[in-house]
Amino acid sequence: MTNQTAQLTVDGHTYELPIVESTAGEKAIDIRNLLHETGYITLDSGYMNTGSCESGITYLDGQNGILRYRGYDIADLAENCVFIEVAYLLLTGELPNEKELNKFREDMIRYALIHEDMIHFFDHFPPNASPMSILSTMVGSLHDFYPEMDLDEDPYGGITTATARLLSKIRTIAAFSYKKSIGHPLVYPRADLNYCSNFLNMMFERPNIPYTIEPLMTAALNKLLILHADHEQNCSTSTVRLVGSSGVKLYPSISAGVGALWGPLHGGANAAVIRMLETIYADEMNFDKYIQMAKDPNNPYRLTGFGHRVYKTYDPRAKIIKEVTHEILETMNIEDPLLDIAQELEYRVGKDDYFVSRNLYPNVDFYSGIVYRAMGIPTNMFTVMFALGRLPGWISHWQEMHMDKENNRIGRPRQIYQGVVKRPFVPMEERR
Ligand code: ACO
């Protein structure tokens, strides 16, 4: 809180509203007592201008394309860390030392299996079930298979048994759902493999056909997961906080976050980008047609992978993922026509005043799908990959919310009612 206040005059009365300042110098008008003092609420559909909490996890400056986890620039983290190191940072606030990281690695191995009874669940989804619906269901069901994970013994903050187990098991659930979807036998986690290699091995190893884990692929996966690990109060993280604010435990809260991530305007965009690029390819690369459709105010079509609520410049994650895309494709000698189409589209959009004037640049989802394709990951698993990456962020926010005892109350927005205010009841025989 600062000593400054903002003045608001309503119905001839002037009210003083406190001003809160962030550690990075951003200022906000604190309206928590506005209703009580004035009788007015604020209206902010889509939460375009509403701070829902105070948080110390991720700093984002959308004007300048800056993204930092716990103060560390994501470019440094992506270049120098492995994913679980960053997960540790998000969860605890500090990078682990060697001993702490080794212990965390052991946790990832110790907790990698899922209860064998859970495996029967996979058999009863329809063959074309979405991996996101499977993921959400399975994460929610952890609540019953591992009830001790949801006890109040140590749920708030840092690395707990519950958080370590969830981080490890989500990877097994994701890989098993893929194997089941293609009718292949499950590949169990191995104790000798690190987090990302283990995941790739569970996805791609087959009986009698050894799978070679390319270090470049493991490194790329680590980078992608790190770049997705948190993004402050985005739609799915806000969902996790909102659901968790009702007092429900970690697993149902995360399961709800998976649902929120699924949508094409959020994490589902990475798969939608690939479908868009494939459509343009199949349509003889008629870029203009799709650009014009996206610009037409009467057409809901959008160029997926462009634009962001908070970035008004190039998404810093997209910049790194674009580099990773080139590195992977060139080093592994992989030709993917979708990369050429993506680059041409980016080039054309970058010269078009409609997109430039609205600050519509590639976002995190624009290039990530091309890297996943190079890894052999099918399009319907892309958003699951996003969920694996985002999990440490979701957990950290859930924990942070619970630790903030002073402000931790149930999330419950208001509304401006615009319906019929009152009318007499109409009996059935009089209804037309
Ligand atoms: N293609 C064409 N026009 C666009 C696009 C796009 N991708 N994105 C925004 N616009 C236009 C809108 O039509 C609007 O134009 P107008 O001012 O003439 O009405 C203007 O830009 C502002 O767009 P809003 O929808 O008001 O911006 P908002 O912040 O609500 O939406 C969003 C952000 C959802 C990301 C939007 O840019 C979008 O739909 N992008 C495509 C989907 C996508 O890539 N989503 C992934 C985002 S990253 C993530 O969540 C992981």
Which of 194, 227, 260 is the last residue before a domain boundary? 227
Of all residues in the chain, the percent with pLDDT exceeding 70 is 98
Reduce the secondary structure of the chain to three states and give it as a string: CCCCEEEEEECCEEEEEEEEECCCCCEEECCCCHHHHHCCCCCCHHHCCCCCCCCCCEEEECCCCEEEECCEEHHHHHHHCCHHHHHHHHHHCCCCCHHHHHHHHHHHHHCCCCCHHHHHHHHCCCCCCCHHHHHHHHHHHHHHHCHHHHCCCCCCCCCCHHHHHHHHHHHHHHHHHHHHHCCCCCCCCCCCCCHHHHHHHHHHCECCECCCCCHHHHHHHHHHHHHHCCCCCCHHHHHHHHHHCCCCCHHHHHHHHHHHHCCCCCCCHHHHHHHHHHHHHHCCCCHHHHHHHHHCCCCCCCCCCECCCCCCCCCHHHHHHHHHHHHHHHHCCCCCHHHHHHHHHHHHHHCCHHHHHCCCCECCHHHHHHHHHHHCCCHHHHHHHHHHHHHHHHHHHHHHHHHCCCCCCCCCCCCCCCCCCCCCCCCHHHCC
Q: Give residue-wise pLDDT tens across range 178-236.
A: 998 888 999 999 999 999 999 999 999 998 888 999 999 999 999 999 999 999 999 99
303 touches ligand 1 (CB under 6 Å): yes
> Is there a domain that residue 252 lies in?
no
Quote the crossing angle between the two packed helices 382-403 and 83-92, to the nearest 10°.
Answer: 20
Domain assignment of residue 388, yes or no = no
330 Cα to the center of ligand 1, angstroms: 31
pLDDT confidence of residue 128: 83
- For residue 210, what pLDDT is reported? 83
Please indicate whether residue 265, judged by its CB atom, sits closer than 6 Å to ligand 1. Answer: yes
Q: Is the CB of 345 under 6 A from ligand 1?
A: no
**147 and 53 share one domain:** no
Looking at the structure, tell me whether residues 54 and 89 fall in a common domain. no
Residue 159 has pLDDT above 70, yes or no: yes
pLDDT at 328: 95
Same domain assignment for residues 57 and 139: no
- Identify the pLDDT of residue 271: 94
Each residue's pLDDT tens digit, 74-131: 999 999 999 999 999 999 999 999 999 999 999 999 999 999 999 999 889 988 889 9
Q: Which residues on neighbouring strands pair with residue 67, listed in sequence order?
A: 60
| Domain limit, last residue, from 169, 195, 227 | 227
Separation of CA 235 and ligand 1 centre (Å): 14
User: What mean pLDDT, rounded, does the chain reach?
Assistant: 94
309 pocket-lining for ligand 1 (C-beta < 6 Å): yes
Is 162 a residue whose pLDDT tops 90? no
**Structure confidence at residue 32 (pLDDT):** 94
230 touches ligand 1 (CB under 6 Å):
no
Residue 287, burial from CB neighbour count under 10 angstroms (0-12, 13-18, 19+): middle
Distance 190 CA to ligand 1 centre (A): 42
CA of 307 to the centre of ligand 1 (A): 5
Residue 238 confidence (pLDDT) above 80:
yes
Is 266 a pocket residue for ligand 1 (Cβ < 6 Å)?
yes
Q: Note the pLDDT of residue 183.
A: 87
* Residues 218 and 279 placed together within one structural domain of the fold: no
What is the domain range of residue 334? 269-375
**Cα separations in angstroms, 296 against 190, 304, 357, 363:** 52, 15, 15, 21
pLDDT number for residue 147: 77
Q: For residue 119, how far is its CA from the centre of ligand 1 (angstroms)?
A: 39
Predicted local confidence at residue 150, as pLDDT? 56
Residue at a domain's end among 163, 196, 227: 227
Query: Is the same domain home to 62 and 77?
Result: no
286-295 long-range contacts, CB within 8 A, separation 24+? 287/344, 287/345, 287/348, 290/345, 291/345, 291/348, 291/349, 291/352, 295/352, 295/354
Ligand 1 atom nearest the C-alpha of 366 is 44
57 inside domain: yes
Would the pLDDT of 299 be above 60? yes
Residue 296 CA to ligand 1 center (angstroms) comes to 13
Does 152 score more than 90 pLDDT? no
Are 76 and 222 found together in one domain?
A: yes
Rg (CA), the chain: 24
Q: Whose CA is nearest to atom 18 of ligand 1?
A: 297
Residue 158: what pLDDT? Answer: 77
| Ligand 1 lined by 360 (C-beta under 6 Å) | yes
Q: Which two tokens stand for residue 51?
A: 């701070």
Residue 138 pLDDT more than 90?
Answer: yes
pLDDT, tens digit, 9 for 90 and up, residues 42-78:
999 999 999 999 999 999 999 999 999 999 999 999 9
CA 18 to mean position of chain CA atoms: 32
Q: Is 296 a catalytic residue?
A: no
Q: Ligand 1: which of 360, 366, 386 to mutate, most ligand atoms within 8 Å of CB?
A: 360
Q: What is the mean pLDDT of residues 29-48?
A: 95
List 107, 230, 315, 365, catalytic entry: 365
Instruction: Look at residues 260, 213, 269, 267 and name the one whose alpha carbon lies nearest to residue 236.
Output: 260
Examine the pLDDT at 1 and tell me if it is beyond 80: no
Q: Kindly state the average pLDDT of the residues 334-351.
A: 96
Contact call for residues 358 and 238 (beta carbons, < 8 A): no
pLDDT digits (tens, 9 = 90+) for 245-290: 999 989 999 999 999 999 999 999 999 999 999 999 999 999 999 9
Question: 373 CA to middle of ligand 1, Å?
Answer: 25
Whether 40 shows a pLDDT value over 90: the answer reads yes
Ligand 1 atom with least separation from CA of 306: 7
pLDDT given for residue 357 in this prediction: 97
In this predicted structure, what is the pLDDT of residue 406? 87
Residue 293 domain flag: yes
For residues 104 and 213, membership in a common domain is answered with: yes
- Residue 26 inside a domain? The answer is yes
Q: Is the pTM of this model over 0.85?
A: yes
Cβ of 382 less than 6 Å from ligand 1? no
pLDDT digits (tens, 9 = 90+) for 374-425: 999 999 999 999 999 999 999 999 999 998 888 889 999 999 999 999 999 9
Q: Which atom of ligand 1 is nearest to the CA of 267?
A: 51
Nearest Cα residue to atom 37 of ligand 1? 307
Ligand 1 in reach of 302 Cβ (< 6 A): yes
- What's 87's domain CATH number? 1.10.580.10
Mutate which of 302, 355, 368 for ligand 1? The one with the most ligand atoms within 8 Å of its CB, which is: 302
Whether the pLDDT of residue 156 is over 70: the answer is no
Verify that 217 and 343 share a domain, yes or no.
Answer: no
Q: Active-site residue 308, yes or no?
A: yes
pLDDT of 155 higher than 70: no
Neighbour tally for 417: CB within 10 Å? 7
* Residue 364, ligand 1, Cβ within 6 A: yes
- Distance of CA 308 from the midpoint of ligand 1 (Å): 6
- Residue 390 is assigned to a structural domain of this protein: no
**Mean local confidence (pLDDT), 136-158:** 75
Which atom from ligand 1 is nearest to the alpha carbon of 294?
A: 2
Provide the pLDDT for residue 383: 95
Query: What residue's CA is closest to ligand 1, atom 24?
Result: 309
166 and 216 in a single domain? The answer is yes
The count of other CB atoms within 10 Å of the CB of residue 327 is: 15
pLDDT class of 160 with cuts at 50, 70, 90: confident
Q: How far is CA 421 from the centre of its chain?
A: 39
- The domain that holds 355 is classified in CATH as 1.10.230.10
161 pLDDT band, cuts 50/70/90, is: confident
Q: Are residues 215 and 303 in the same domain?
A: no
Domains identified in the chain, total number: 3
294 located within any domain = yes
Q: Verify that 92 and 58 share a domain, yes or no.
A: no
Name the catalytic one among 230, 308, 315, 397. Answer: 308
**Residue 256 forms part of a structural domain:** no
pLDDT of residue 148: 65
Give pLDDT, residue 172: 97
209 and 299 part of one domain: no
Residue 260, ligand 1, Cβ within 6 A? no
